[in-house]
């Protein structure tokens, strides 16, 4: 029986997706990516899950692609592998649930891409982030898509061209990640953040997450036009009516199930 490389479990309203191949630094092999897609689908389909934490076993978050799957592959095999990786990243972005990366140790190349693609990133103070492909003659072109959309072109090109890793503190300073905590506090801090988010309306979060990413790719006039319509849709939703009424009545809101 093949070892499961990615696990899914729940803790209350929080879904925990765990990369579990620490001996190989949680490489994003074809099998791992396919299983990650399956686990994300499980989380999305679980009606009790309101927020997802993506974490990893062992001292590393992820070292990126399994180079052994690339070096001797055919063009068709490489094409399908990179397409599978892109599908995984886009699934995270398209998920209605917020996804928080919990990062310890290294997050390099596609592993950095995976962490940064998540909606939020909480990292241990000993974590590091890098796009070091240039060192092995394989430019981190697809990781650059995720990274450049978070920190912009100049700093991304510096990461790509120098291959120098960023410390967690530096990554936080430039806005690549959200929070840095001591390694011993990482699981608890990430779970607390996830539970805080999970207390909000699932409908509102799903609508807002999609709208946020959709508007980010548009010129400002189109972005405002789109988000105005989202605000109208949101304002007439039962959860928005309930939330505003609860605020006026100084009580906790009671969200709908969807």
Q: At what angle do helices 75-94 and 141-151 cross, to 10 degrees?
A: 20
C-alpha to C-alpha distance for 97 and 126, rounded to whole angstroms:
28
**pLDDT at residue 144 is higher than 90:** yes
**Secondary structure of 55-67 in the HEC alphabet?**
EECCCCCECCCCC
* pLDDT tier at 3, thresholds 50, 70, 90: confident
**pLDDT at residue 125 is higher than 90:** yes
| 155 exposure class (CB count in 10 Å sphere: 0-12, 13-18, 19+) | middle
CA 66 to chain CA centroid, Å, is 20
Q: What is the mean pLDDT of the chain?
A: 96
**CATH annotation of 202-248:** 1.10.12.10
Q: Give ranges for CATH 1.10.12.10 in the chain.
A: 202-248
**pLDDT at residue 258 is higher than 70:** no
Mean pLDDT of 187-210: 97
**pLDDT at residue 12 is higher than 90:** yes
Domain 6-198, CATH number (from 3.90.226.10, 3.40.1010.20, 3.10.20.30, 3.30.1280.10): 3.90.226.10
* pLDDT tier at 257, thresholds 50, 70, 90: confident
Q: How does pLDDT run across 72-102, given as a tens digit for each residue?
A: 899 999 999 999 999 999 999 999 999 999 9
Model pLDDT, residue 1: 57
Which residues fall within 8 angstroms of residue 205, CB to CB, at 6 or more apart?
A: 50, 96, 97, 98, 197
Model pLDDT, residue 253: 96
């Amino acid at each position: 029986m093949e070892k499961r490389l990615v696990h899914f479990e729940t803790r209350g309203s929080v879904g925990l997706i765990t990369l579990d191949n620490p001996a190989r630094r949680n490489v994003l092999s074809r099998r791992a990516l396919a299983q990650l897609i399956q686990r994300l689908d499980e989380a999305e389909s679980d009606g009790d899950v309101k927020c997802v934490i993506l974490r990893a076993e062992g001292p590393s978050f992820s070292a990126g692609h399994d180079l052994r799957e690339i070096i001797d592959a055919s063009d068709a095999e490489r094409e399908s592998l990179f397409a599978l990786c892109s599908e995984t990243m886009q699934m995270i972005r398209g998920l209605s649930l917020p996804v928080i990366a919990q990062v310890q140790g290294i997050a390099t190349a596609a592993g950095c891409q995976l962490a940064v693609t998540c909606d939020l990133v909480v990292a241990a103070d000993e974590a590091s982030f890098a796009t070091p492909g240039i060192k092995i003659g394989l430019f981190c072109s697809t990781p650059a898509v995720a990274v450049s959309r978070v920190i912009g072109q100049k700093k991304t090109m510096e990461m790509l061209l120098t291959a120098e890793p960023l410390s967690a503190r530096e990554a936080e300073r430039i806005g690549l990640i959200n929070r840095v905590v001591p390694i011993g506090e990482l699981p608890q801090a990430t779970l607390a953040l996830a539970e805080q988010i999970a207390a909000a309306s699932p409908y509102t979060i799903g609508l807002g997450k999609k709208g946020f990413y959709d508007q980010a790719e548009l010129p400002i006039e189109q972005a405002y036009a789109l988000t105005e319509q989202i605000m109208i849709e949101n304002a007439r939703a039962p959860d928005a009516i309930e939330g505003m009424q609860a605020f006026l009545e100084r009580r906790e809101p009671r969200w709908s199930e969807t």
